Amino acid sequence: MITKKMEAALNEQIKEELASAYLYLSMSAHFAAEGWDGMAGWMRVQAGEEQEHAMRLFDHIVDRGGKVKLHALAAPETKWASPLAAFKAAYKHEQHITGCIHGLVELAQKEKDHAAGAMLQWFVTEQVEEEDHASKVVQLLERMGTEGRGLVIADRELGRRVAEKE
């Protein structure tokens, strides 16, 4: 049985994960409109991953006899000054999500909810990967520059990303 505190916090995290998916889908739409198909594809894959993360939390609540309560999502931004600005925003967002996950781990410890704690360890590891991926794209774009051939090459490289099965 899941505690009410843990249930509420996990429901809030479902919102965070779905908001992440919404943000990345918005970034994908922005890139597609700007003609950066590779970056649009990268963000679309990222949006799908965030939806899967939300469903992991959803299933955990249900499996523990809790009730999932979906919250309203705010509209995400729709335009970024450059691909670098968008990926910097994505990296900052992943840092925010990491903080949320760490807060959930601390709550699970306080509530002595070992099942949630075990489940959340997957997210701790995942966030290391998420931050690393976003950070590496930022570094790539900073090296390549914000215009010209380098950006075209970066777009092509980012377009090679495909969804992974979890």
Query: Are residues 38 and 57 in contact, defined by beta-carbon separation less than 8 angstroms?
Result: no
| Residue 35, both tokens | 């003609």
Q: What are the φ and ψ backbone dihedral angles of 79, each rounded to 5 degrees?
A: -145, 140
The predicted pLDDT at position 166 comes to: 55
- pLDDT bin (cut points 50, 70, 90) of residue 132 is very high
Query: Left (φ > 0), alpha (ψ -120 to 50) or beta: where does 148 sit?
Result: left
| Residue 40, both tokens | 């649009």
The CATH superfamily label for domain 4-158 reads Ferritin, core subunit, four-helix bundle (1.20.1260.10)
- pLDDT (mean) for 78-103: 98
State pTM to two decimals.
0.93
Residue pLDDT, tens place only, 76-89: 999 999 999 999 99
Distance of CA 97 to the CA centre of its chain: 7
pLDDT surpassing 80 at residue 147: no
CA distance 104 to 160: 33
